A and B are shown apart, each in its own frame.
Chain A
Amino acid sequence: MSSVDLLLPLLIAVPILAATLPIALGLWVDRTGWPVAALTTSALFAGAIALASVVSTRGEAVTHTLGDYPRTYGIELVADQFSILIVLLVTAVATGVLVYTRQGGPRGNTFYTAYLLLTAGLLGISLTGDVFNLFVFLEITSLATYALVASGDGPEAAVASLKYLILGTIAASMYLIGVAFVFMATGTLNMLELAEAIPGAESQTLLHTGVAFIVVGFAVKVAQWPLHTWQPSAYQQAPDGVTPLIAALVSTASAYAFGRLLVTVFGVEYLTAMPNAAAVVLTIGCVSVLAGTILAVIQTEVKRMLAYSSVSQFGLVIAAYGVVIAGSSETAFIGAAIHLVGHGLVKAGLFLGVALVARSYDARTVDEYAGLAKSRPIVAGAIAVLLLSLVGVPPGVGFVGKWYIALGAVQSELWPVAAVIFLSTMLTLAYAARLLEKMYFTPPARADPLHAPAPVATDGGNAGSDESDAEPTRDEPGAAIAAIRGDRSAAPVSTGMVAIVVLAAIGAVALGFSGGTIAELLDPFLTKVIN
Chain B
Amino acid sequence: MVADIRPLAAVLVSAVAIVLIIASHRRPNLREGWSVVAALAKFGIIVSMLPAVMDGTVFAWSLRESTGIQFLAGIDFALRADPLGIFFALLASFLWIFTSFYAIGYMRGLDEHAQTRFFASFAASLSAAVGIAFAANLVTIFVFYELLSLVTYPLVAHNEDSEARIAGRKYITYTFFGGGVFLLAGTVMIYWLTSLVHSGPTLAFEAGGMEALATAAQAEPIYAQTAFFLLIAGFGVKAALMPLHSWLADAMVAPTPVSGLLHAVAVVKSGAFGIARVILEVYGPGLIHDLPLDVPGIGTVGLNIPVAIVAAFTLTAASIIAMRKDHLKRRLAYSTTAQLSYIVLGLSMLHPYAIVGALFHIPAHAFAKLTLFFCAGSIHVETHTDYISEMAGIGKRMPLTMTAFTVGAAGMAGLPPIAGFVSKFYMLLGAGSMGGEYWLFAAALLLSAVLNIAYFWPVVYTAFFESEERHDAKPLLEFPRGGLVESYADGSDADIAADGGQPTDGEADRSDPERPAEDEDGDYEYAVDEYPSDAEVPDGDHVSSVDHHGDFDDHLTGGPPADGWPRRSPITETTWLMLAPIAVIAIGAVVLGIGPDYAVFLDLARQIVGDVFGLPFEDVTALPFDRLVTGVPN
- Chain A interface residues (CB < 8 Å from chain B): 331, 334, 388, 391-395, 399-400, 402-404, 406-407, 410-411, 418, 422-423, 425-426, 429, 433, 437, 440-443, 466-469, 471-472, 474-476, 513-517, 519-520
Contacts and interface: CB of A to CB of B under 8 A. Distances in A.
Interface stretch (B154-162, B508-516, B523-531): B154-162
B31 interface: yes
Given A411-B195, A422-B181, A442-B160, 10 more contacts: A391-B176, A391-B180, A394-B143, A394-B147, A422-B185, A426-B180, A443-B160, A467-B115, A468-B31, A475-B553
Contacts of A437: 157, 165, 168-169
A134 B94 CA distance: 62
A391 B154 CA distance: 17
Contacts of B113: 467, 469, 471-472, 474
Given A411-B195, A429-B176, A474-B160, A468 B150 contact: no
Nearest to B185: A422
Contacts of B184: 402-403, 406, 422, 425
A441 B70 contact: no
Nearest to B180: A425
B142 interface: yes
B71 A515 contact: yes
B146 to A, nearest CB: 5
Given A394-B147, A407-B192, A441-B165, A469 B180 contact: no
A394 B142 contact: yes
B34 interface: no
B544 interface: yes
A406 B169 contact: no
A395 B146 CA distance: 9
A519 B160 contact: no
Contacts of B169: 433, 437
A519 B161 contact: no
A441 B113 CA distance: 12
A426 B73 contact: no
Contact of A423 (B116, B181, B189): B181
Interface stretch (B22-30, B373-381, B466-474): B22-30
Nearest to A440: B154
A410 B196 CA distance: 12
A393 B147 contact: yes
Contacts of A406: 184-185, 188
Nearest to B191: A407
Task: Choose among B71, B139, B195 the residue with the greatest number of A CB atoms under 10 Å from its CB.
Answer: B71
B177 interface: yes
A310 B622 CA distance: 61
B172 interface: yes
A118 to B, nearest CB: 33
Contacts of B192: 407, 410-411
Contacts of A467: 25, 113-116
A393 B150 contact: yes
A165 B77 CA distance: 46
Contact of A469 (B28, B77, B164, B168): B28
B70 A426 contact: no
B562 interface: no
B27 A468 contact: yes
A472 B161 CA distance: 13
Nearest to A419: B185
A441 B146 contact: no
A177 B188 CA distance: 40
Contacts of A433: 169, 172
B72 A516 contact: yes
Interface in B549-587: 553
A441 B181 contact: no
B164 to A, nearest CB: 7
Contacts of A429: 172-173, 176, 180
Contacts of B115: 467-469
Interface string B59-76: 000011000011111110
B550 to A, nearest CB: 14
Contact of B73 (A402, A472, A519): A519
A425 B149 CA distance: 14
A468 B25 contact: yes
Interface string B1-29: 00000000000000000000000011110
A440 B25 contact: no
21 contacts: A394-B139, A395-B143, A399-B143, A403-B184, A406-B184, A410-B188, A418-B188, A426-B176, A429-B172, A433-B169, A437-B169, A441-B160, A469-B114, A469-B115, A474-B113, A476-B161, A516-B64, A516-B70, A516-B75, A517-B69, A519-B70
A410 B70 contact: no
B180 A392 contact: yes
Given A392-B180, A441-B160, A468 B72 contact: no
A379 to B, nearest CB: 15
A515 B74 CA distance: 10
The 5 A-B residue pairs with the shortest CB-CB distance in the complex, in nearest-first order: A516-B70, A519-B73, A425-B180, A394-B143, A515-B72
B230 to A, nearest CB: 9
Contacts of B176: 391, 425-426, 429
A177 B181 CA distance: 41
A23 B433 CA distance: 88
B73 A520 contact: yes
Interface in B180-235: 180-181, 184-185, 188-189, 191-192, 195
A441 B69 CA distance: 36
Contacts of A466: 25
